[in-house]
Amino acid sequence: MLRAIRFIVDLFTQRHGIVAFVFFLVLGLLMRQSPTPIRESIVSTAVSTLYFPAQRIVSAVGHYKALAEENEQLKEENARLRQETYHAREGLQELARLHTLVRFDDKWDFPIVTARVIGHNPGRFLTTMVINRGSEHGVKENMPVFSMNGLVGKISKASMTHSRVQLLVDPNLKLSVMDRRTRVVGFLESMDGVRLTALVPTHAGVHAGDTLVTSGLGGIFPKGIPVGTVKDVRKSDLDVMRQMEVEPFQDFSILEEVFVMEKEPDWLIKELLDE
């Protein structure tokens, strides 16, 4: 059929008008003398040939629309699968963190409550946060709070379902720490709500890179919770003391889950604190 079309087009483009005239004249005579079924077949073939390009265009447009719809469906499916993959990855990471933190149950003789961080203080510096556990979960004031990296702070206020955590960088929190290598005891605090410093005796022999842990003094924090590392040791205002700059093990700005140790202050220390 395509060859016939090319033949007819060549006749006209090559200016063979006479040949074309004779061709159509003979074709008309043959159709007139031919039986009706044959004439209908010839007309049907000619019409189909003329409409063939238009049919191809319509078919191509329909195929393009179908592909576009399928492409949109695939995009939506891809977005949904990405969300599911993201949630699954987050769940696996959370499970790994919780599995690591569960090991703390065997280190201290106190029950541990798992909590999720749900809010931060709105101030300029991050000194407090809110967790989704309260008194109905066994959480009380002055209970230690830590993560799998190290000490976070303590409970400063507990309601029924939520509690406020006072972080190590809060200038109002004072902590007794011990150098793990030299066993010397010092007092950790933050003067500006950002940096942590500690004072130790000059003769203690503390060096940069040493690890600090809770000393167990003060009655609130048990002995041995990792706190941070010594970044620098320099002179203080007192000749008999050295000031250490401390880098905490835990980055408070990225905390998602914490653990509350159900340890109440020792009764003697608590009486002294209340006075």
Q: What pLDDT score does 249 carry?
A: 92
61, two tokens: 């447009």
Predicted model pTM: 0.61
Residues in the chain: 275
Q: What pLDDT score does 137 carry?
A: 93
In the chain, at which residue ranges do the beta strands (DSSP E only) sit?
Answer: 112-120, 128-131, 144-146, 151-158, 163-167, 175-179, 185-189, 196-201, 211-214, 226-235, 241-248, 257-261
Q: What pLDDT score does 43 carry?
A: 54
Q: What pLDDT score does 138 carry?
A: 93
Beta strands 196-201 and 241-248 are antiparallel
Q: What pLDDT score does 32 carry?
A: 58
Whether 260 and 104 have beta carbons less than 8 Å apart is answered as no
Q: What are the residue boundaries of the structural domains of the chain, listed by start?
A: 2-60, 111-274
Torsions phi, psi for 112 (to 5 deg):
-125, 135
CATH number for the domain running over 111-274: 2.40.10.340
Burial class (CB in 10 A: 0-12, 13-18, 19+), 218: middle
Q: What pLDDT score does 192 carry?
A: 83
Q: Compute CA distances 147 → 101, 140, 154, 158, 180, whole Å.
A: 7, 18, 12, 19, 19
Q: How confident is the chain (275 residues) per 10-residue block, as mean pLDDT? A: 56 54 57 58 56 62 73 73 65 61 60 90 83 94 91 94 94 91 90 87 86 88 91 82 90 90 73 53
Q: What pLDDT score does 144 carry?
A: 94
Residue 135 half-sphere exposure toward CB, CA atoms < 13 A: 6
Spell out a b/e string for 187-209, using b for 16 or more CB atoms within 10 Å of the CB, else e.
Answer: ebbbeeeeebbbbbeeebebeee
Compute the chain's Rg from CA coordinates.
42
Please write the tens of the pLDDT for every residue from 17-59: 555 555 555 556 555 555 656 555 655 565 555 555 656 666 6
Q: What pLDDT score does 65 carry?
A: 75
Cα–Cα distance, 108 to 140 (Å, whole number): 18
